[in-house]
Chain A
């Protein structure tokens, strides 16, 4: 039984088919990178996994259960832009995730609970290299720092799945390298299942344990929207990392 199963998923908007007949099985802890040309539906697929959209046909199972039809705390997300709250400080941006689920009435914690949440948030921020900027607002951070914050914000929820929509698309190449290292380190430590959409092929190859290529198999030049994209290549990558993963999963299974 695989962790995530995608069974014959179709997504269409009106006449336009974006995804057709998608089938995919992903084990827990895999790092899937999604590549493909612009407009081929990889971000749509990510939105389906996130629950921001519902598939027109087919179903997606998470651990054997149908995926909740709206975003929830089981799936974390980092977008290319607008991932962090501009009105909260760095610390509060992360602490928010600890406050919201436990304070249904006011959305904020007080006293010791608040202190505890902030300590936890600060510890995580320290780990992603933002320990020096706890009191700053996101607008005062560089693009790379903002994405570090967005990742920390997603991870504080301890989600089972992390969805990344071109998270490093707007960053300089040097910064991007740092972010890759950070992401891999966090992935190893948390054993998260990651889906990451990227435009950068080399990024897709170097980061993932599995590369999924989205492309249209059929094209009707007179009706560009008639056919949708499928997963045309499904390539296992970075065998050492995969092996480590398999060993670890085996160990936890026993």
Chain B
């Protein structure tokens, strides 16, 4: 039988899902054990116990200096920045995308502008943000906003253009004005698409967040990783990376579930 026609069975599918993760972990811990056997003070590949200690120290015991639980404090700061950034971007992207995609008079000037803006490498203008907005929260949030809004807006503009012209004509024959047409026909059809776009942009958003935190912050997940790098503290960095990955995955899963729950018509309408 050709490979292309062979499908995993239900039971072996789970095994296939777990297998690459298990292999990665296995490779890591074998390497770690070997290095630690050679040199118990090796810092590069910490053992599970060492990482467990670091997590216990950072997550479950109060910092002696500040009295805070570092991991949770870092997570809260980072997630707050991310949420504000994503929220503003979603709103701005939605407004720009709908305006550019449904109103030809707005699309003519907006569309080329958005295309050019989305080509500006956001990290290249990070220094400008620090100069203009200072080193506080605002510049970090702005980096996320500037980084992902143009891409979001362009995607939503495209989706708005894909709405069949028949539907727009139909809405007008049902007495819609431009405003109510956007409110009741275009907007609700773009909302699920917005959530999908946000999912795709999550990776970039985290990238910009961590870059901004690495350069100028006093807390946050990115800040912590770059701080402990000075001490080669892999036992902290690795759990932090795993934690960030888990958070990102959870956000992705949450958005996916929300799309399905909130817009039950969406899957069927695309078929």
Interface residues of A (CB under 8 A from B): 50, 52, 70-73, 75-77, 79, 81-88, 96-97, 99-101, 103-104, 106-108, 137-140, 153-154, 157, 159
Interface residues of B (CB under 8 A from A): 164, 166-167, 169-177, 179-181, 183-185, 188-189, 263-266, 268-269, 271
Bound-state CA distance A210–B149 (Å) is 55
Return the chain B residue nearest A81 by Cβ.
B166
Q: When the two chains form their complex, are residues B173 and A77 in contact, meaning their CB atoms are under 8 A apart?
A: yes
Q: When the two chains form their complex, are residues B166 and A100 in contact, meaning their CB atoms are under 8 A apart?
A: no
Q: Which of B176, B264, B265, B268 contacts A107 (CB 8 A)?
A: B176
- Interface contacts beyond A83-B166, A107-B180: sample of 19 additional A-B pairs, CB < 8 Å, sorted by A: A71-B172, A72-B175, A79-B166, A82-B166, A85-B171, A86-B189, A86-B268, A87-B265, A96-B184, A100-B177, A100-B184, A103-B180, A104-B179, A107-B176, A107-B179, A107-B181, A107-B184, A108-B184, A137-B268
CB neighbours of A157 from chain B (8 A):
173-175
Nearest 8 A-B pairs (CB), nearest first?
Answer: A139-B268, A107-B180, A101-B175, A86-B269, A82-B164, A82-B166, A71-B172, A97-B174
> What are 30 contact pairs spanning A and B, CB under 8 A?
A50-B173, A71-B169, A72-B175, A73-B174, A73-B175, A75-B173, A76-B173, A79-B166, A81-B166, A83-B166, A83-B167, A84-B170, A85-B185, A86-B189, A86-B268, A87-B265, A96-B174, A97-B175, A99-B184, A100-B175, A100-B180, A100-B184, A101-B174, A101-B175, A103-B180, A106-B183, A139-B268, A139-B269, A154-B173, A159-B173
Bound-state CA distance A141–B177 (Å) is 28
Q: When the two chains form their complex, are residues A139 and B189 in contact, meaning their CB atoms are under 8 A apart?
A: no
CB neighbours of A137 from chain B (8 A):
264-265, 268-269
